[in-house]
Amino acid sequence: MPLPSAQLFTHAELAQRQLSAAEQVDHLLARRGAVDHSGPELRTLIEVNPDAMSIAMERDAEARDGQARGPLHGLAIAIKDNIDTADDLLTTAGSLALTSTRPLQDAPLVARLRDAGLVVLGKSNMSEWANMRSPHSTSGWSARGGLTRNPWNPARNAGGSSSGSGAAASVGIVPLAVGTETDGSIICPASFNGIVGLKPTVGLLPTDGIIPISHSQDAPGPMSRSVRLVAALLDAMTGSDQYLAACADASLSGVRIGVVRDHFGDHAPTDAVAEAAVALLAATGATIVDPVPGVSLPAPAHDDEDEGLRVLLHEFEHGLTRYLAGRPAGGPRAVGDIVAFNRDHADVELAWFGQEYLEQAMVLPGLDSDAYRTALASIQRQARDDGLDAVFGGHEVDVLVAPAFPPASMTDLVLGDYGSGGACTSAPAIAGYPILSVPMGFVHGLPVGLAVTGPARSEALLLRVAGALETRLGLLADGALVPPTSTGG
């Protein structure tokens, strides 16, 4: 029988609503077989849940008995490989060092998703250690999962670090995915893969059971092809019903949108698509305030002067050590153990780039050090008090918009990531404020996203703005958001 609550979504948003949960799992696994390890070899999922079919059958039985758990009951979801699941799936952040043990319990976020009736189809590949291993890393690559490729052009990068989540949702291997972001790790793959991705306010969702980088910046978030599905997933993640409801208002009357011109200029064709998107937002009734200033922290002359990096390294060492202490015996217990493991397995782990960040982090003092406290206070003041808060208040705007990223760059494992753009993510990351990327069009056949940023706990408004743009563009209705490699499944 079809899954329940189909009236909440359009056919384009949820074609698989015509399938039972078990039929959906069967269909999605066939699609994965066609594009992940054959055809374009996208490598979006690092591992498939062997219990997915039996869980789907349980969800179907509940639906038949009138016991659907919510609007997403029975839908499949991919969980990023740095989020704990207490099942037969590993949680490794892409690293071979963590393959010897499994978490003892679900992360609270995963427990919420299971309670909402979702079926965990598998773990998605990611940039190893969420790109917190080396300044020369390649997004989408991990020693455990290999390289996740972009479904719009497999020679191009899928973005990081939630690479597999972004690509899997884009190509239709899953309708829903969970990513995590410190700075750009949901927004970049969402933009590169032509999907919607939301990093919520830091603290809105629990981060227990998630392999950490930074307690002051980390947040898990929903990823999917449509705004309404992202909103419904955020409802399931928070246990609320406000976010999908926020998408019902197609008018933006009364909403003041600031255009951050400082974040234009990296790529003229992308800027042109963004200009058209801003015009469409104005046509929905929004008041456009153009320009408003951007917020950028001063670029340090040397790494040892980089306060943002100093904060991340201190919090990474502290958080990762605490996380490892909660894993079963038999695996690494400290950052130094991971460094040693990588050296012992250098032919695989260090084949393409080093582990400079791990080596720097393992020798740092604790979070009570003056260097850490001073750096944290400095960057938060610049990004939040003197930065975004000053822009929102001084220009009386509700949200900010700018191009998220230029089109996906070519993947280069030898030289690592390159390219410009994405400056819009750093200030919200440090401030802990929400940011969303919604597809706004194409450049030479590659999708590009519009970044929408708001103050703390403004997720409902961000989704409303993104939903209005999505409706005006009509990309879902005419199938423009289907990547060419999805036809293989």
Active site residue 214: no
Ranges of beta strands (E only) in 106-208 are 119-124, 141-142, 146-147, 176-181, 196-199
What the block records as the tokens of 438 is 């919604």
HSE, side-chain direction, 13 A CA sphere, residue 96: 16
Give the Cβ contact number of residue 363 at 10 Å. Answer: 10
β partners of residue 260: 292
What the block records as the tokens of 19 is 């399938």
Distance CA 142, CA 147 (A): 7
Residue with tokens 């958080």: 319
Q: Tabulate helix, strand, coil % of the chain (nearest 5).
A: 40, 15, 45
Pick the catalytic residue from 124, 137, 162, 185. Answer: 185
Nearest to 307 by CA among 320, 315, 355: 315
Q: Is residue 152 within 8 Å of 483, Cβ to Cβ? A: yes
Active site residue 185: yes
Q: Is residue 125 within 8 Å of 43, Cβ to Cβ? A: yes
Pick the catalytic residue from 124, 142, 161, 226. Answer: 161
Active site residue 80: yes
Answer positive or negative: Cα dihedral of 320, 338, 414, 194.
negative
Angle between helices 459-473 and 268-283 (to 10 degrees): 100
Task: Say how far residue 286 (Cα) sits from the centre of its chain.
Answer: 27
What the block records as the tokens of 129 is 């250690």
10 Å CB burial of residue 370 (0-12, 13-18, 19+) is exposed
Residue with tokens 């400082």: 262
Pick the catalytic residue from 80, 95, 123, 191. Answer: 80
Active site residues: 80, 161, 185
